[in-house]
Structure 1
């Protein structure tokens, strides 16, 4: 009898829990990609960037992402997104025997509106990008790769003037190396925090977004090389290496402009300045500019022509006076899926990863080219030229230990060096808006490679330079 009563109580509790959560709606979406890729000379040679490994030119990649929204009401929801990152067949998760478990949390954030007003609060692992002209895909300073890269942050969105002015403010902790306890009883500054504010202003036929961001960089915080190299100067490698100050202030300010009043012609531009570590030794300072502009014409029904240009300040001839390139945290910038830059390709691991900072260039693209039902193309050509002093790059390469560490041949350009890149990317909808067959092709050329910069030690990198080629074919499914 007691056992039956216990069972009845458990059933009633389960029914109560079901009723309590019945109002929560679960919405799910995601995408899957499987593709084969031939990629030759991705570092302009058959080696890796440091010349210590030989590349494989043919791989089959797979990636999966699932986004789940737990919606209590239009005012409250929680998003949990999981993924298997791009992994080649035969490696990691896709190994035949004893595969590695590589399912990771990609997004995890609570989002709600404050009662009685339209203030929207988002807390947790979320995509964050600084304002950028939409023709250039994402920001050259802090980018989420069009919402595919996330940061742990707290953000608040507050409409100030209906449909005219909005304030977006936030805090993000990008890195905390030692978590709760430092490695010894001596406390070290191992956090990298940023604070940002954007003020989108909308007019009839125009949009302006002034913005600013400040970052506090702990002396021991730059543990991620891809972030570190975009933040420090070449002088940071001089003895005594590293920052002198326990914490260094970095800041950026800029504005994004978009004008659509002359439809079907639209204009785009960004102006950005940033600097950091100015209270440290002069060799550790970094500062610079990044400016871009573009135009798009939407009057044709068979294609959308686009053209763009950019300029970024480059290094001078010394490294003891710091760096003259703008600091950058994460960079996913480019136009028309350019083969030179990560800029909107359907697949990943398939670009030259060139650095737009420290260069100037031109880009032209035909987007949405279509002469057949369900089939479309993107055709893009870009040319980039260095703004960095060869002497400055040479000294930074020597101080950091060689090519492929702080600076990389063909990705960071000296004055006189240049890049050319072209790509034709095609998409055929097998099932409209759900399953597509995608083919991406690319060619790139690196010209006037400066051996005095890159040929350190016994490696003669510039003697091995060849054009890069890519062909990727695969399936992408949206659900």
Structure 2
């Protein structure tokens, strides 16, 4: 059936392109996209661990088909060939001998855009990129993912260079994934929807952008169950939000072990999440470019009574499934003719020394926060090894110095980054939360740094434009991770002190 479905999809896809060739009278079709081929060697997951290779070659094709009926109505489809990358030689990725895989094509986005008649209000409906504002890294630290939902954009006030707008979106990241068993009774697709509602008020004037925003999440008690719990998969984007919304669970346990096997009910049918933030970008003092932002968030999922995973003797206490925290960040760049030197710094609140009262870190969904190439999500190609440290600023403070887009030769640019990161979580948490193993990649932070832990990162990215539509990137990154042995009591031995990656990537855009 999978092979038949794949072939049927290809036939439908060919039919669409036949329509493009003949062009309908009412609809104008446009195609754009990117084809990436990358070669890398690394010791970062999924490479370099015991029993794994340290070299891989992979590729991915993404293209967007726009069907434009008029300036008022259009539809878009983004298709990915190699959803999580086609790893050369992998049969299941369709990249082995013969190259006829069945699970390599996926829908990245599918939505319609339309304008409300007689107004300037624009609506987008379908699977689409939903992104909260963030001017420090040009990405949100809380929510930035392709999600099924609706976005409404409408101007509020405009006068010359000054404008106030409004953007509202409703997204449904999860629904109908669980098959929860309660008292021997199967409760399929019950209380398992997670919905987010956000409002952004972008304010723009000459040389300044200000975006206050707020978001609410309605979280069903089963909404984070039933989704992929396989930590060995290459891309944990689907299930990683569980670790971003929950406190540390103790005993090295992940969400699946705690809630699917050991604990069923948190005594709270619906959980609630609240976030608020402000991000500002100042560019009127050229060549200076300054951005500042701050965010607070709180997620309450109820409580677990008689929770025993924090006490090696098995003494049960009430565990508050509460996570609330904040972060503040600032970026300053100075644009010169040959490049842009700059600094970026942030502070994120960390856990105190009481695991039972929940977490004091900022709750977040999985989002590729592009601070540095290997520690976070800022590499040239997002499928290369990354995220040694995390995908959000919670529980950590950091300082990044950079020189971006340095160019002394035509069509060749370099970006150098040097960074230092220090934990803000209590150094007593690993012991008091009985963290006998280091937090997993699947259901927790990529790294959990306490006040006794730190890391350094150095990276160099070089991009050369071979032709107008073809560029090659050579990128190298190194992360030195220091986990205090007295704090972690042997749990740190599962982590590499020296983390590295070297990659060569080719990108063809059309």
TM-score norm. by structure 2 comes to 0.80
Tell me the equivalent position of 2:115: 113
Within a 5 Å distance, the mapping from 1:297-316 to structure 2 comes to 297-298=334-335, 300-316=336-352
Q: Distance in 2 between matches of 1:431 and 1:186?
A: 53
1:444 corresponds, among 451, 469, 479, to 479
Q: Does 1:176 align with 2:175?
A: yes
Q: Distance in 1 between matches of 2:281 and 2:78?
A: 32
Q: Distance in 2 between matches of 1:392 and 1:477?
A: 47
Q: Does 1:160 align with 2:196?
A: no
Residue 178 of structure 1: how far off its partner (Å): 3.7
Q: Deviations over 1:365-414 (max 9, x none)?
A: 11111000111111111111000112224444638996555446x72211
Q: Distance in 2 between matches of 1:113 and 1:347?
A: 33
Residue 346 of structure 1: how far off its partner (Å): 3.5
Q: Distance in 1 between matches of 2:265 and 2:351?
A: 19
Tell me the equivalent position of 2:270: 247
Tell me the equivalent position of 2:41: 38
Tell me the equivalent position of 1:231: 245
Instruction: Mark the CA change 1:403 to 1:341 in structure 2 (over 3 Å): closer, same or farther.
Output: closer
Residue 326 of structure 1: how far off its partner (Å): 1.1
Conservation of the 8 A alpha-carbon contact between 1:41 and 1:467: no
Q: Deviations over 1:303-337 (max 9, x none)?
A: 011211001000111111111111101222233x4
Q: Deviations over 1:344-374 (max 9, x none)?
A: 5245333234123110010011111100011
Instruction: Mark the CA change 1:287 to 1:361 in structure 2 (over 3 Å): closer, same or farther.
Output: same
Tell me the equivalent position of 1:322: 358
Residue 465 of structure 1: how far off its partner (Å): 3.1
Q: Distance in 2 between matches of 1:161 and 1:383?
A: 43
Q: Distance in 2 between matches of 1:426 and 1:326?
A: 33
Tell me the equivalent position of 1:3: none
Instruction: Mark the CA change 1:395 to 1:199 in structure 2 (over 3 Å): closer, same or farther.
Output: same
Tell me the equivalent position of 1:138: 139
Tell me the equivalent position of 2:11: none
1:290 corresponds, among 327, 334, 339, to 327
Instruction: Mark the CA change 1:80 to 1:404 in structure 2 (over 3 Å): closer, same or farther.
Output: closer
Q: Does 1:387 align with 2:427?
A: no
Q: Deviations over 1:108-127 (max 9, x none)?
A: 00001111111000000000
Residue 159 of structure 1: how far off its partner (Å): 0.5
Conservation of the 8 A alpha-carbon contact between 2:177 and 2:189: no
Conservation of the 8 A alpha-carbon contact between 1:41 and 1:466: no
Instruction: Mark the CA change 1:341 to 1:115 in structure 2 (over 3 Å): closer, same or farther.
Output: same
Tell me the equivalent position of 1:257: 280
Within a 5 Å distance, the mapping from 1:16-95 to structure 2 comes to 21-42=24-45, 46-47=48-49, 53-84=50-81, 85=83, 86-91=85-90, 92-95=93-96
Within a 5 Å distance, the mapping from 1:114-129 to structure 2 comes to 114-129=116-131
Residues 447-456 or 361-370, more deviating? 447-456
Q: Distance in 1 between matches of 2:471 and 2:169?
A: 37
Instruction: Mark the CA change 1:414 to 1:95 in structure 2 (over 3 Å): closer, same or farther.
Output: same
Tell me the equivalent position of 1:99: 101
3-state secondary structure, aligned to 1:166: strand
Conservation of the 8 A alpha-carbon contact between 1:314 and 1:389: yes
Q: Distance in 1 between matches of 2:488 and 2:108?
A: 39
Q: Unaligned stretches of 5+ in structure 1?
A: 1-17, 48-52, 145-149
Question: In terms of Rg, which structure is larger?
Answer: 1
TM-score norm. by structure 1 comes to 0.85
Tell me the equivalent position of 1:6: none
Q: Distance in 1 between matches of 2:413 and 2:175?
A: 44
Tell me the equivalent position of 2:293: 270
Conservation of the 8 A alpha-carbon contact between 2:178 and 2:188: no
Instruction: Mark the CA change 1:446 to 1:241 in structure 2 (over 3 Å): closer, same or farther.
Output: farther
Q: Distance in 2 between matches of 1:401 and 1:343?
A: 24
Residues 177-186 or 344-353, more deviating? 177-186
Q: Distance in 2 between matches of 1:125 and 1:289?
A: 29
Tell me the equivalent position of 1:350: 385
3-state secondary structure, aligned to 2:141: coil
Conservation of the 8 A alpha-carbon contact between 1:137 and 1:343: no
Q: Unaligned stretches of 5+ in structure 2?
A: 1-20, 228-237, 250-254, 305-318
Q: Deviations over 1:100-153 (max 9, x none)?
A: 3310011100001111111000000000111101x4131111013xxxxx1001
Residue 453 of structure 1: how far off its partner (Å): 2.9
Q: Does 1:151 align with 2:147?
A: yes
Q: Deviations over 1:39-94 (max 9, x none)?
A: 12459x953xxxxx533210001010010000000111000110022221111121
Tell me the equivalent position of 2:369: 333
Q: Distance in 2 between matches of 1:20 and 1:341?
A: 44
Tell me the equivalent position of 1:190: 192
Q: Deviations over 1:454-478 (max 9, x none)?
A: 735xxxx427633112110131100
